[in-house]
A and B are shown apart, each in its own frame.
Chain A
Amino acid sequence: MNLVALAAKAGLAVMLLVAGSAKLADLASFAAAVRLLLTFRVPRGAVRAAALAVALTELVAGVASLVLPSAGWINPVVLALACGFVLVSGLGYLFHRGRSCRCFGALSNRRFDLAGIARSLAIAATAAVAMVRVPPAMTGIGPGSRTLLLASAAVVGLAAFSAARALGSARKLELETS
């Protein structure tokens, strides 16, 4: 069970890292998705700032969860984020069914649908599993290992950013020529 909890924690951390980086790569598209969920008029700058805040929150939570495995406060934060995903999926399904959620930026074409709600619930369940307390010896890593994880996270984040940029540009080009 300890290993499952650790795998859930690491998996979620990487998912947040990739999702945050991909959203940052195409912030304008993600801001458009954020605007969908706002029922009142909000200045464009504020929507963009909100989108940036969400992307950075995911990125920071992912990196922190990955690099600071023994910090107990991160797991509830990740669980709260996952519950937020469920809420957003539900609202999106109710009011904007079939529209793209840009959950992973341009990396995927995920939409507000029943499968999206199921995925969000699975993420929340995984976050709950990650809350299981594991022996400190299993999560104890030194500064060297922490640096290694941080460097690996930077590489993955950069790869996600680049991939999302490339895919986003290609899709925009297709839209322009069609």
Chain B
Amino acid sequence: MRIPVYLAVAQWALLLALGVLVILMFRQLGRHLTVTRSPAELGPAVGSPAAGFEYVTLAGPGVPGGVPGGGRDGGPGGTAQSFQPGGGQASLVAFVDPTCPACEELVTALNAADTDGELTGTRPLLMVSEPPSYLQISEPFRATRLPLGQVQADATLEAYRVSATPLLVAIDGAGIVRAAGPATRRGDVRAFVTASLLPAPDGGGLPVVSGARDGHNPDMMTAIAGEERSLARKGEAAGG
């Protein structure tokens, strides 16, 4: 049976449109499922000491030329490193994977924040668990200038309770987790940076803040704003 030319052309056009729409919906569904994961099962407890871990560098300072090479699945290359939280240096650890659309959003936000100098004072670190070759398929991961490493042990993922990605963890200079949860936007990144730079609590510490929903955590913003106001009052009292 001979298929009319127009029918074939039209069906291809419809199929193409349907494919694009399905991809759009798939991305949206993936993002929704990632960022609405139950907060209770994601990220280390706020106020607890952050765990140190080993990783292999994949990009960023110290690895000229960037991405591929290192890692347990990526063959030789990269340098074994150890992340030790604290030591007077605030840290921002992002657990991200190149195949996760929400992670791409977070890495894009982190890249932009880095370009604008908003990460000053904190030590950013992107940690992936997927093979290094996957990084090539994601533009934000290829373009990042931030230190990028591959997790070397499942124990690290368990210690940080990385049950879903993206997971952003703010660690203060004393090595204490100050905020943890999913994040995708620039505002989230700013909030986490602020959390990591807060001074060590005087006994009481910050209110427990863990597990943002939909990549945004108003509770965390409130907690940080309250802490900042308290610090400002202390400063005024000291100055006056």
Q: Which A residues form the contact surface with B (CB < 8 A)?
A: 2-3, 6-7, 10-11, 13-15, 17-18, 66, 69, 107, 138-141, 145, 148-149, 152-153, 155-156, 159-160, 162-163, 166-167, 170, 173-174, 177-178
Residue numbers in A under 8 Å from B12 (CB-CB): 10
Q: Which of B10, B18, B24, B32 is A10 in contact with, Cβ under 8 Å? A: B10
The answer on a CB contact under 8 Å between B7 and A149 is yes
Contacts of A156 in B (CB 8 A): 14, 17-18, 21
Given contacts A170-B28, A173-B214, contact A163 B21 (CB under 8 A): yes
Taking CB atoms, residues of chain B closer than 8 Å to A163 are 21, 24-25, 28
Whole-angstrom distance from the CB of B218 to the nearest CB of chain A? 7
CB-CB under 8 A from B28, the residues of chain A are: 163, 166-167, 170
Inter-chain contact A149/B11, CB cutoff 8 Å? yes
Let me know if B10 and A66 touch, CB within 8 A. Answer: yes
Can you pick out 21 interface pairs between chain A and chain B where the beta carbons lie within 8 Å of each other? Answer: A6-B6, A10-B9, A10-B12, A10-B14, A13-B13, A14-B17, A18-B21, A66-B10, A66-B14, A107-B24, A138-B6, A141-B6, A149-B10, A156-B17, A159-B21, A160-B17, A170-B31, A170-B32, A173-B214, A174-B214, A177-B216
Contact A3 B5 (CB under 8 A): yes
Q: Which residues on the B side are within 8 Å of A14 (C-beta)? A: 10, 13-14, 16-17
Residue of A nearest to B15 (CB): A152
- CB-based nearest B residue for A69: B6
A-B pairs with CB below 8 Å: how many? 90
CA–CA, A92 and B73, complex, Å: 52
Tally chain B residues at the interface, Cβ within 8 Å. Answer: 26
Chain B contacts to A: CB under 8 angstroms: 4-7, 9-14, 16-18, 21-22, 24-25, 28-29, 31-32, 185, 187, 214, 216, 218
A contact residues around B22 at 8 Å (CB) = 159
A148–B13 Cα distance when bound, in Å, is 14
Would you call the interface of chain A mostly helix, strand, loop, or mixed? Answer: helix
A7 and B9 within 8 A (CB): yes
A152 touches B14 (CB 8 A): yes
List the A side residues contacting B17 at CB < 8 Å: 14-15, 17-18, 156, 160
Contacts of A139 in B (CB 8 A): 4-6
The answer to whether B187 and A178 have CB atoms under 8 Å apart is: yes
Min distance, Cβ B226 to any Cβ of chain A, angstroms: 19
From A7, A141, A159, A174, contact of B13 by CB (8 A): A7
B25 in contact with A162 (CB, 8 Å) = yes
Q: Is the CB of A159 within 8 A of B18?
A: yes
- The residue of chain A having its C-beta at the shortest distance from the C-beta of B11 within the complex is A152
List chain A residues, Cβ under 8 A from B24.
107, 163, 167
Task: Count chain A CB atoms within 10 A of each CB in B6, B28, B185 and give the residue with the most.
Answer: B6
A145–B2 alpha-carbon span in the complex (Å): 12
Give every chain B residue within 8 A of A160 (Cβ-Cβ): 17, 21
Smallest beta-carbon distance A77→chain B, Å? 17
Q: Residues of B contacting A178 with CB < 8 Å?
A: 185, 187, 216
